[in-house]
Amino acid sequence: MSEHRHRTRLLPLTAAMLMLGVIGRAILALPTTGDGLAVPMRAGAEASGIPNVITAVLLDFRGYDTLLEIAVLMLATVAVLSLREDPAALSRRIAGGAGPVLGTLTRALAPIMLLVAGHLVLVGSSGPGGAFQGGAVLGAAGILLMLSGYARPAWASRRAVRWVLAVGLIVFIGVALYPLLSGGTLLQYPPENRKDLILLVEALLTLSIGASLVSLFLASASSTEGGGRR
């Protein structure tokens, strides 16, 4: 047994050491300065009027990556939904509800989380934040609600929830395709309503991302009652 163990560990260990050596050599060979695309990106962001370069990169220059990233998230949600064992179990899953203490916390925190999520989306254009961060906070609020017993039965097999999950992506594609009508390319927001469009997309994305994260948790959550009794 131990000999077998030994053999199975030798290969991974060698692989890891090899990787370390290879990466180390590559990194040490680099010069200590290197601008990459920082300079043109900053100039471009300034020109396009989005103060936060990263948001400019994410939604404007490399918006296509972000479109596919949102697709990844929705795909993962669908994937996890497809893996759940028994759709009927969803309705009996979150039974019991929260005790008074947890319930109170949830009631107090959830609205604040909603506000913070909104705030994070709004500040995204000028500082740290954005749809994903906002969506994550929103999703956390949702998960907290679920854990505290506020789950609606059969979440995610309902049509409405499906719409919420998909609306971000659908609207994003719509906005991405919209410039094609006026001779632009995919995702080439028209300058006159670029900000509004981005905000619209971000807002709906936040909603969808939040719903996705809740679904990821909920759909993957065990179908039997956990150890929790409160």
What x/- string results for residues 90 through 129 when contact with other proteins is judged by CB under 8 A?
---------xxxx-xxxxxxxxxxxxx-xxx-xx--xxxx
Q: Give residue 169's identity as a one-letter amino acid code.
A: L
Minimum CB separation from other proteins for residue 91, in Å?
13
Written as six digits, the tokens of 185 are 């390319």
Q: Is 202 in the site for other proteins (CB under 8 A)?
A: no
Written as six digits, the tokens of 109 are 């925190």
Q: Is 178 in the site for other proteins (CB under 8 A)?
A: no
Q: Give residue 157's identity as a one-letter amino acid code.
A: S
Of 50, 147, 151, 175, which lies in the binding site for other proteins, with binding defined by CB under 8 A? 147
Q: Is 6 in the site for other proteins (CB under 8 A)?
A: no
- Find the helix or strand (DSSP H, E) in which 102 lies: helix 100-123
Minimum CB separation from other proteins for residue 13, in Å?
6
CA distance 41 to 47: 10
Pick from 53, 56, 76: nearest CA to 66: 56
Of 66, 175, 198, 204, which lies in the binding site for other proteins, with binding defined by CB under 8 A? 66
Written as six digits, the tokens of 64 are 């296509």
Q: Is 39 in the site for other proteins (CB under 8 A)?
A: yes
Minimum CB separation from other proteins for residue 185, in Å?
5
Q: Is 9 in the site for other proteins (CB under 8 A)?
A: yes
Q: Is 65 in the site for other proteins (CB under 8 A)?
A: yes
Of 91, 152, 154, 162, which lies in the binding site for other proteins, with binding defined by CB under 8 A? 162
Minimum CB separation from other proteins for residue 207, in Å?
11
Residues 6+ positions from 104 with CB-CB distance below 8 Å: none
Rounded to 5 degrees, φ, ψ at 83 are -90, -5
Q: Contact 146/91 with Cβ under 8 angstroms?
A: no
